[in-house]
Amino acid sequence: MDKPTSTMLRTGIDAAPLDDATLGLLPRRVAELVDVVGLAAALKIVELRGGGRLEVPKRVKADHWLIEHIGLEALTKLVAYYNGERIEIDRCADLVRTIQERIIVAAHDNGASNWQLAQQYGYTERGIRKLRKRVEQAQPSANLDLFADFLNN
């Protein structure tokens, strides 16, 4: 299966949208899992079992522990695809870090102070400032697009 694209995605993980660049951080196995059960369910499985293995049952049972986390529909798809396999679940540390950084920047943009964010996420104020600067520098500026349009005309 191909890696998912941003057109396949919904907004997820604390309202942090995932674009193609962020999706590029998904390991192949997790991208396959996204194709099978959807983004939200796949990320929940990563949260619960990342860095370990998941024993996929051969049959869906109403009392299976995953139902409360990913829902019956996603579990049914998982069982149909993997049918009793033991699958490795990657930690996706780069993806989780990228999403958390975007959430922090968005919270700051919505009025949270560096101090509040530092307390909430276990950073120092200086760490929050550095994180914001790094994330903002990594994002393309809308002004660059305007400048490119100006040069092309």
Name residues whose C-beta falls within 8 Å of residue 71's C-beta, 6 or more positions apart in sequence.
41
CA gap 152, 36 in Å, rounded: 43
* The two three-digit tokens of residue 141, written as one number: 């500026």
What is the full per-residue pLDDT of the chain (153 aa) written as tens digits? 333 333 333 333 434 556 777 777 789 999 899 999 988 899 889 989 999 999 999 999 999 999 999 999 999 999 999 999 999 999 988 888 888 898 899 999 999 999 999 999 899 999 999 999 999 888 765 544 554 454 454
Instruction: For the beta carbon of residue 103, count every other beta carbon within 10 angstroms.
Output: 16
| Burial zone of 129 (CB within 10 Å; 0-12 exposed, 13-18 middle, 19+ buried) | middle
